Amino acid sequence: MDDPHRTPDADDPLLVIVDGANVVGSRPDGWWRDRRGAAERLRDRLAAEGLPGRPGPVEIVLVVEGAARGVPSVPGVRVEEAPGSGDDRIVELAAQSPARPRLVVTADRELRGRVTALGAEVTGPRTILG
């Protein structure tokens, strides 16, 4: 866990926290038939492409919940399983790193409000999906 009293360092990579259920659910491509497979495809896309339009190093964390649990991490993407609400886990992750730049990828209005109150930036699923 980051030291909340430490000032941000120029070398701190951007922490990108991806709301897996929200991003996957933003496209009606049949994801509901295989939620875990959809989360794996999103993880693999993030591992291959990173975060389009964001130069420099990033640390990507994909938060999964429900039927998508069990998706393993891969190089370039750490997968975090939410024991309950994915939104609550995302807020926890954003709160753990107040000294570094954070970007949450979601279209969920309530979640956007919760993480911006913590100082995180927010962007929508199109950032990843185009």
Residues 6+ away with beta carbon under 8 Å from 76: 46, 47, 50, 60
pLDDT in tens, the chain (130 residues): 444 444 555 468 999 999 999 999 888 888 888 999 999 999 999 999 998 888 778 999 999 999 999 999 999 999 999 998 999 999 999 999 898 999 999 999 999 999 999 999 999 999 998 8
pLDDT at 52: 87
pLDDT at 2: 44
pLDDT at 57: 87
Residues 6+ away with beta carbon under 8 Å from 12: 99, 100, 101
Residue 70 has a CB neighbour count (10 Å cut-off) of: 11
pLDDT at 11: 61
* Structure letter (DSSP) for residue 74: B
CB 99 within 8 A of CB 7: yes
